[in-house]
Amino acid sequence: MFSRAYKIAVAAPPLLWVTVFLLVPYALMFCYSFWSVTPAQNIVHSWNFENYKELLEKPVYWETLLRSMWIAARVMMFSLALGYPLAYFLSFHAGKHKDLLYQMVIIPLWVSYLVRAYAWKTILGSDGVLNTLLQYVHVTRHPLEFLLYSPFAVVLTLTHIYTPFTILPIYAALEHIPRNLVEASHDLGATPAQTFWRVIFPLSIPGVVAGATFAFVLSLGDFLAPLLLGGPSGIMISNIVVSLFGAAYNWPMGAAISLGMLLIVVSLLFLSERLEKRWSFS
């Protein structure tokens, strides 16, 4: 149907893009992760598994990795807990305000991530909005220290930032449920609650899985929120990678950790796709 020249002309730019900015960097990273660095900070191209061994042996690495996963898991749970009811309300009960409310979910995504993270800093700080308010109404006498520079701050901020990413796929899944199935369920004697658990929720699982994956994967790789709001106790694995590629100048170790994360993320995406397929009916 299309000429060969046309096909090449269309396919070449994206292929080139993917090769230069994705495949080559990954290949380089893969190589780096098996190299090492001398005390004089020279990178030696000798192939070995030392970096991976260190990753598993040094608590600072795997503990941070586990903590990052725990933070990501909490963000995922809170995003789902907030996002699902909102998406459900939007899809089933928002009526004529549906479009407006949907836009209100989208609009925060237009605001820079940095602005939103900084906003939380102003809210949560010792002299921040929240502490000032709490002291003003005499709920607390001293500023609450755990609000800022803590895993709490990181989880809160990431939940705020990534909740829209969970709402959208859940909303899309709910919108796809034929409404006559809900009517059929009521018709067969199921109460609204029974209808939700037996029909609506099972059919929205693909959206839940997609939303959960977004929240978890995006949070796991985040480094700005922990950098700005995490403090020493809220450090995440990406902050370590950043420092390894920067001040610490240990690219091989950084590459090994990155590859480890990549492995985790790819397995998660694979798993979530399997789950989505398992729960898709059309």
Residue type, 266: V
Beta strand extents in the chain (DSSP E only): 36-37, 43-44
Q: By CB under 8 A, is residue 266 in contact with other proteins? A: no
Q: By CB under 8 A, is residue 39 in contact with other proteins? A: no
Q: By CB under 8 A, is residue 274 in contact with other proteins? A: no
Q: How far is CA 55 from the centre of its chain?
A: 23
Q: By CB under 8 A, is residue 279 in contact with other proteins? A: yes
Angle between helices 251-278 and 50-57 (to 10 degrees): 70
We find the least distance from the C-beta atom of residue 94 to other proteins, in angstroms, to be 19
**Angle ∠(229,235,238) on CA atoms, nearest 5:** 105
We find the least distance from the C-beta atom of residue 79 to other proteins, in angstroms, to be 24
221-226 LR contacts (CB < 8 Å, sep 24+): 221/261, 221/265, 222/158, 224/113, 224/114, 224/117, 225/117, 225/153, 225/154, 225/157, 225/158, 225/161, 226/154
Nearer to other proteins, 25 or 202 (CB): 202
Measured distance CA(177)–CA(123) in Å, rounded: 39
Q: By CB under 8 A, is residue 93 in contact with other proteins? A: no
Q: By CB under 8 A, is residue 190 in contact with other proteins? A: yes
Structure tokens belonging to residue 213: 């994956």
Nearer to other proteins, 39 or 189 (CB): 189
Q: By CB under 8 A, is residue 187 in contact with other proteins? A: yes
Among residues 183, 246, 263, 271, the one that binds other proteins under rule CB under 8 A: 183
Among residues 203, 212, 237, 261, the one that binds other proteins under rule CB under 8 A: 203
Question: Of 123-182, which residues contact other proteins (CB under 8 A)?
Answer: 178, 180-181
DSSP 19-64: IIIIIHHHHHHHHHTT-EE-TT--EE----SHHHHHHHH-HHHHHH
Nearer to other proteins, 84 or 162 (CB): 84
Binding residue count for other proteins, defined by CB under 8 A: 21
237 in Cβ contact with 68 (< 8 Å): yes
Nearer to other proteins, 85 or 202 (CB): 202
Q: By CB under 8 A, is residue 95 in contact with other proteins? A: no
Q: By CB under 8 A, is residue 30 in contact with other proteins? A: no
Among residues 3, 42, 46, 282, the one that binds other proteins under rule CB under 8 A: 282
Among residues 198, 266, 270, 271, the one that binds other proteins under rule CB under 8 A: 198
Q: Which residues pair with 125 in a beta bridge?
A: none
Among residues 19, 122, 126, 194, the one that binds other proteins under rule CB under 8 A: 194
Q: By CB under 8 A, is residue 191 in contact with other proteins? A: yes
Measured distance CA(16)–CA(266) in Å, rounded: 23
Q: Other C-beta atoms within 10 Å of 168: how many? A: 20
Nearer to other proteins, 105 or 190 (CB): 190
What is the contact surface with other proteins in residues (CB under 8 A)? 178, 180-181, 183-192, 194, 198-199, 202-203, 279, 281-282
